[in-house]
Amino acid sequence: MNSVFMKDITWKEFEERKSRAVILPVGSTEQHSFHLPFCTDSAIAEGISEKLAEKIGGTVMPTLCYGYKSKPMSGGGPLFPGTIDLNGRTLISLAEDILEELCLDGVKLIFVNNAHYENEAFLIEAIDIVSRRHPEVTILESNWWDVLPQSVIDKVFDDVPFPGWALEHAAVTETSLMMYLAPQLVKMDMIPTETGFEPVPYHKYPIVKGMVPESGALASAKGSSAEKGKLITDTAVDEFVKIIERFI
For 147-198, the pLDDT digits (tens) are: 999 999 999 999 999 999 999 999 999 999 999 999 999 999 999 888 888 8
R_g of the chain computed on alpha carbons? 18
Percent of residues, the chain, with pLDDT higher than 90: 89
118 vs 73, higher pLDDT: 118
Residue 210 in this model has a pLDDT that exceeds 90: no
**Helix, strand, or coil (residue 29):** strand
C-beta separation of 181 from 129 below 8 A:
no
User: Which one, of 141, 100, 145, lies nearest residue 124 by Cα?
Assistant: 141
Catalytic residue check, 116: yes
One of 50, 116, 120, 141 is an active-site residue; which one? 116
Catalytic residue check, 30: yes
Q: Name the pLDDT band for 200 (thresholds 50, 70, 90).
A: confident
Catalytic residue check, 214: no
Catalytic residue check, 118: yes
Q: Does an H or E element contain 173, and which?
A: helix 172-181
C-beta atoms surrounding 165 within 10 Å: 15
* 190 secondary structure, DSSP code: G
Residues in Cβ contact with 247 at an 8 Å cutoff, skipping those fewer than 6 apart:
109, 138, 140
One of 85, 96, 174, 239 is an active-site residue; which one? 174
The rounded mean pLDDT for the chain is 96
Residue 248 in this model has a pLDDT that exceeds 90: no
One of 35, 41, 120, 141 is an active-site residue; which one? 41
pLDDT at 195: 86
12 vs 210, higher pLDDT: 12
Q: Name the pLDDT band for 232 (thresholds 50, 70, 90).
A: very high
> Each residue of 109-150: pLDDT tens digit?
999 999 999 999 999 999 999 999 999 999 999 999 999 999
195 vs 96, higher pLDDT: 96
One of 30, 50, 168, 239 is an active-site residue; which one? 30
Residue 1 in this model has a pLDDT that exceeds 80: no
Q: Can the peptide bond before residue 199 be classed as cis, meaning omega within 30 degrees of 0?
A: no
Tell me the whole-structure pTM to 2 decimals.
0.96
> Each residue of 15-28: pLDDT tens digit?
999 999 999 999 99
Q: Name the pLDDT band for 2 (thresholds 50, 70, 90).
A: confident
**What torsion, rounded to 10 degrees, do the Cα atoms 117, 14, 107, 177 define?**
-20
Catalytic residue check, 32: yes
C-beta separation of 6 from 62 below 8 A:
yes
pLDDT at 73: 87
pLDDT at 22: 98
pLDDT at 197: 86
Catalytic residue check, 169: yes
> DSSP secondary structure string, 120-167?
HHHHHHHHHHHHHH-TTSEEEEEETTTT--HHHHHHHTSSS----GGG
Mean pLDDT over residues 88-105, rounded?
Answer: 98
